[in-house]
Amino acid sequence: MSLSVGDRAPEFNLPDQDKQVVSLADLRGTPVLLVFYPFAFSGICTGELCQLRDELTNYTDAGVTVLAISTDPVFSLKAFKAQENLDFTLLSDFWPHGAVAQAYGVFNEKAGMALRGTFLVDADGAIAFAEVNGPGDAREQSGWKDAVAALAA
């Protein structure tokens, strides 16, 4: 079961592409956009994250920290970030495999991957926006932008 608007965002500590641990608790006081995606280097995921890269100022100008999370190992994330010139942090939910995706209700256990879940966490740690798309369904990112604008207003 996925999280809904108003729910408390589950805390996590995950390594980024450089093996540095990122904690959601350490970001309290700042809105955070969590973008779960199935796999680095896959077609739809690459398109979505490159669009996010190209439109990143929509989020950063509003004071939002963007974190993209997959079940890929850190080494894949480092190569993916470099290849696609991504300007935001990629987090590895590799081990325990998919534990954070499970906590957010977006883990596909059969495939061992995260679904396309998007969550905007407000500065107090509550979910302000939640959307989950299936494995083959690309996200329409206008909903995220509207949620960020509403949070910033």
Residue 83: count other Cβ atoms within 10 Å of its Cβ: 11
Distance of CA 11 to the CA centre of its chain: 13
d(CA 62, CA 102): 28
d(CA 56, CA 35): 13
d(CA 45, CA 48): 5
Closest listed residue to residue 38, CA positions, set 153, 139, 144: 139
With H, G, I as helix, E, B as strand and everything else as coil, classify residue 122: coil
Phi, psi of 9 (to 5 degrees): -70, 130
d(CA 7, CA 68): 20
Which positions are annotated as active-site residues?
45
